Amino acid sequence: MRSSAAARPQSSPAQAGCARLLATCPDRSGIVAAVSGFLHQRGVNIIHSDQHSTDPEGGRFFMRQEFYLPGLEESIDALARDFGREVAERYQMSWRVVLSGRKKRVAVLVSRLDHALMDLLWRVGRGELHAEIPLVISNHPDLRPAVESFGVDFHHVHVPEALDASRGRSLSVPEEKMLELLEGQPGGPVETLVLARYMRILSPAFVKRFPQRIINIHHSFLPAFEGADPYRRASERGVKLIGATAHYVTGRLDKGPIIEQDVIRVSHRHRLDELKILGRDIERQVLSRAVRWHLEDRVLVDGNKTIVFA
């Protein structure tokens, strides 16, 4: 069993006093009543609740609750400690409590294509995504002016192409440099990474540093056309649908738990360059939805699948 209480960063006024409880456990009778009863006894107002069972007999139970309590920022550690002792241990829960007003710190990794990156920076700047992006890391220097125009730090970390093939069990030199940047930020370490068309493979050792906290956008409707150059392969096969997939990164290329997908219909009239233009629109939309759901703690992982309370 694993538990964690939220830290105490500054909350936004609109979400002061609000928090989220995420819990996963073996399914059995009485879970919802136990959680709701615990919160009720402490004067907590539950403002939203979602739950899902994979199988009522021997399956897994997933829950997401949003709740409100005046002054919660000062008492959340005690509430989490009591919940762990009185409820979570009894039901063998893996769980966490997070303050809703807390902005997650996100770094974006990108190569040369800027469509997904620019969309994320714009949405964060507009307040559509409740996050902070303190830095962008790229294996090419091309996007520095565009990134810095948003007031975001840009770091070029060169990654030799030969490293892609090795995928070693230890960190590469570029990955060590990236970790230094991610962990050494003045406002605190980065929690979530978004690969916005970052065209390099991360080693298993690097991925393990961010379990279920690296989101990738792949430019195909997985599991179709995994790996490189999916638009070209889709064109060669004459597909009638192209799509995009946002998923958590694991040690297996393009096989992590899927968060969101979408497709668009195409025909034999579409050239390869037209497929890419259409596909990039879908990539932006799919990635932004997946990132928003992750930031709002709406995604729970079940093996190699996800439960998304969207």
CATH number at residue 301: 3.40.50.170
The pLDDT tens digits of the residues spanning 131-177 come to 999 999 999 999 999 999 999 999 999 998 766 544 556 889 999 99
Rounded to 10 degrees, the C-alpha dihedral 118/120/123/126 comes to: -70
For residue 17, tell me if it sits in a domain.
yes
Q: φ, ψ for residue 149 (rounded to 5)?
A: -65, -20
On average, the pLDDT of the chain sits at 91
For residue 5, tell me if it sits in a domain.
no
Residue 83 sits in the same domain as residue 109: no
Q: Which of 64, 3, 73, 62 is nearest to 27 (CA)?
A: 62
Residue 154 sits in the same domain as residue 38: no
Q: Which of 268, 217, 262 is nearest to 243 (CA)?
A: 262
3-state secondary structure of 30: coil
For residue 258, tell me if it sits in a domain.
yes
For residue 91, tell me if it sits in a domain.
yes
3-state secondary structure of 34: helix
The pLDDT tens digits of the residues spanning 239-275 come to 999 999 999 999 888 889 999 999 999 999 999 999 9
Residue 285 sits in the same domain as residue 156: yes
* Separation CA 72–CA 160 (nearest Å): 48
For residue 1, tell me if it sits in a domain.
no
- Predicted confidence at residue 12, as pLDDT, reads 43
- Predicted confidence at residue 254, as pLDDT, reads 82
Mean predicted confidence (pLDDT) in 76-99: 97
Which residue range(s) make up the domain with 281? 104-308
Q: Which of 5, 18, 212, 8 is nearest to 88 (CA)?
A: 5
For residue 69, tell me if it sits in a domain.
yes
Residue 84 sits in the same domain as residue 222: no
Name the one residue in this structure whose structure tokens are 């030199």. 173
Cβ of 137: how many Cβ atoms within 10 Å?
23
Domain count for the chain, please give it: 2
Residue 160 sits in the same domain as residue 272: yes
The pTM of the full predicted model, rounded to 2 decimals, is 0.91
Domain boundary among 72, 99, 126: 99
Give me the active site residues, please: 254
